[in-house]
Amino acid sequence: MSYVDEVYSYVVEKNPAQPEFHQAVKEVLESLRVVIEANEEEYKKDALLERLCTPERQILFRVPWVDDKGQTHVNNGFRIQFNSAIGPYKGGLRFHPSVNLGIIKFLGFEQIFKNSLTGLPIGGGKGGCDFDPKGKSDNEIMRFCQSFMTELYRHIGADTDVPAGDIGVGGREIGYLYGQYKRIRNVYEGVLTGKGLTYGGSLARTEATGYGLLYCTNAMLKANNVDIKGKTIAVSGAGNVAIYAIQKAQQLGAKPVTCSDSTGWIYDPEGIDVELLREVKEVKRARLTEYAAKRPSAEYHEKKNGEHGVWNVKVDIALPCATQNELDLDDAKALVANGVIAVAEGANMPTTIEATQYFQQNKVLFICGKASNAGGVATSALEMSQNSERLSWTFEEVDSKLQGIMENIFKNADEAAKKYGKEGDYVAGANIAGFLKVAEAMKAQGIV
């Protein structure tokens, strides 16, 4: 058995019932095969891959909180400090009822390579809770965030581990988490990113993941002589990533015609009205039915039987921006049959392995989230820099750095793919480029 296969079996055996984690490891190890095989003896002796696939630290904790009626609830909190070879652990917090250890580990594992690709000094981590923020009052959200931080604070710090947002964690939650951290620790430090602009946040962090996705997508299209202007786009999701992906796509002259949330999806042939979408989702925290009610050109479709909806619309480009495994083989077949040219992941691991392979076999330009959604964490690292120097940069300054970082990520993934004989396979290129830096740092630091 080759070392890659041995390590994959080891991961499956040691981490039972964590299918998303197995999937993320499989995808990375498969694309690293060429690099590993060239250095097999050395990597194996150092158990480099076993170390890479085993979190440095896993923190599991109880989060009790009291609702507005006086009822106590208990949720499960997680923080996975996966790899600190190239910098302090960095990665978001997800609050969603589906959260479990395997999901947080898949996200933390991917974060290692993504963060490496940004070129900035940040290690990989992720956290979250199986708490459902939907339907909760602001006071309930505040009490929950305070309880979550009352345990988490002892494990994090501006030079140790710097969480941020992810699904279900936006500006409101980061504010409550930050307030409680500061109260307990009595230090005013950049321990979280995605902070509000009045207390140490960075301009353009809110927009960064969606904008970065489009900068990366555009770089991939340009390298393949495709002009984004006039292209129709299917976007899934209606949260932070989806909204600013839609906004930047429009600024670049493309036309996003769909978005979705957990209960339904919109087809708007005139193009999504992004200001209306922001009002419905960011301000009112309402369903997409409210968008449809105010927009005569929009069709609203209820989601039935777990179907994904938006991928059946005929478009040139698909940008999955909601959640893991939301684009499967059937969806990929529908997109290819409708002539899709490019797919770029805004979410983390939204495309199943079979769907990814189908796109690649059918010559669809495809780039994975570790590269294409890295703009969020990259801008978080820029927020850390600003906090350290106690200065704030302008929107234009941050946005232009973000654009440069995303173009560089695409270039590095493209070049690594070519160097290892996989031209045009941007998944392999991204994984290889991300891995090499981390592997070198781990080797230099000895067996730790």
Interface contacts to ligand NDP, rule CB under 6 A: 96, 98, 165-168, 170, 209, 237-242, 261-262, 321-323, 346-348, 373, 376
- The active-site residue out of 105, 126, 248, 281 is 126
DSSP run (H or E) holding 58: strand 57-66
Q: Which region among 59-67, 143-151, 376-384, 435-443 touches ligand 2IT (by CB under 6 A)?
A: 376-384
- Between CA 434 and CA 440 the distance in angstroms is 11
Q: Is residue 193 part of the contact set for ligand 2IT (CB under 6 A)?
A: yes
| DSSP of 87-135 | SSEEEEEEE-TT--HHHHHHHHHHHHHHHHHTTSS-EEEEEEES---TT
**Residues that contact ligand 2IT, how many (by CB under 6 A):** 11
Q: Which is nearer to ligand NDP, 256 or 376 (CB)?
A: 376
Q: Which does 261 bind (CB under 5 to 8 A by kind): ligand 2IT, ligand NDP, none?
A: ligand NDP
User: Using the rule CB under 6 A, which residue among 377, 384, 405, 417 binds ligand 2IT?
Assistant: 377
The answer to whether 350 contacts ligand 2IT (rule: CB under 6 A) is no
Identified binder of ligand 2IT from the candidate list 87, 210, 350, 376, rule CB under 6 A:
376
**CB atoms closer than 10 angstroms to residue 393:** 18
**Cβ nearer to ligand NDP, comparing 25 with 36:** 25
Place of tokens 């209306």: 276
Among 91, 128, 133, 175, binds ligand 2IT (CB under 6 A): 91
Q: How far apart are CA 171 and CA 194, in angstroms?
A: 7
DSSP for residue 2: -
- Which C-beta is closer to ligand 2IT: that of 205 or that of 281? 205
Whether 44 is catalytic is no
**Does 164 interact with ligand 2IT (rule: CB under 6 A)?**
yes
CB atoms within 10 A of CB 447: 9
Partner whose binding site includes residue 240, from ligand NDP, ligand 2IT, none (CB under 5 to 8 Å by kind): ligand NDP
Q: 179 with 196: CB under 8 angstroms?
A: no
Residue with tokens 């750095």: 401
Q: Cα(257)–Cα(190) distance, rounded to whole angstroms?
A: 38
State how far the Cα of 422 lies from the Cα of 427, in Å rounded to an integer. 10
**Site residues, ligand 2IT (CB under 6 A):** 90-92, 114, 164, 166, 193, 348, 376-377, 380
Residues with active-site annotation: 126
